């Protein structure tokens, strides 16, 4: 088993969320990675914050700690399929979240997120919430 860590879980960890950090310690030996989308969301958050330089440094450090998975044709194949099938059902999910989910599916990773409401609607996606 290997994990794809969603943006919200990274932010919880940076804010010293006890349960999240306990899970990071418990699963220290299990491979974990980030989508390049999560990295972009961290950079965006840093750029709109009141302490841009410090938060950019933190985002860059997070990217050093976790391998980043770049977007690929196979990820976009899954993205297109999911966006169409969920759209036909009237279940719209943000494109960034769909790209993160597509990355997890493409690489056979368990997605670690607190956003269970959206991600549990995606067929075949295994989700764990490390904040509970």
Instruction: In whole angstroms, give the CA distance from residue 62 to residue 10.
Output: 8
Global pTM value = 0.95
Residue 118 has pLDDT above 90, yes or no: no
Cα separation, 52 vs 30, in Å, equals 31
Query: What homologous superfamily is domain 3-128 in, according to CATH?
Result: 5'-nuclease (3.40.50.1010)
Strand partners, 34: 68
pLDDT of residue 82: 97
Token representation of residue 5: 């860590």
Q: Can you tell me the distance from the alpha carbon of 19 to that of 14, in angstroms, rounded to the nearest whole number?
A: 12
Sheet holding 32-35, edge to edge: 68-69, 32-35, 3-5, 110-112, 127-128
Instruction: Give the start-to-end residue ranges of the domains of the chain.
Output: 3-128
* pLDDT tens digits along 55-87: 999 999 999 999 999 999 999 999 999 999 999
């Amino acid at each position: 088993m290997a994990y794809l860590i969603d943006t919200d879980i990274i932010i919880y960890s940076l804010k010293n969320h006890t349960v999240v950090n306990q899970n990071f310690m418990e699963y220290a030996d299990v491979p974990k990675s980030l989508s390049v989308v999560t990295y972009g969301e961290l950079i965006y958050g840093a750029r709109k914050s009141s302490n841009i330089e410090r938060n950019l440094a933190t985002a860059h450090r997070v990217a050093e700690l976790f391998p980043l998975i770049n977007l690929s044709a196979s990820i976009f194949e899954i993205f297109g399929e999911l966006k169409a099938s969920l759209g036909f059902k009237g279940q719209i999910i943000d494109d960034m979240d769909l790209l993160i989910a597509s990355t997890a599916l493409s690489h056979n990773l368990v997605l670690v997120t607190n956003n269970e409401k959206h991600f549990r609607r995606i067929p075949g996606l295994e989700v764990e919430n490390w904040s509970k």
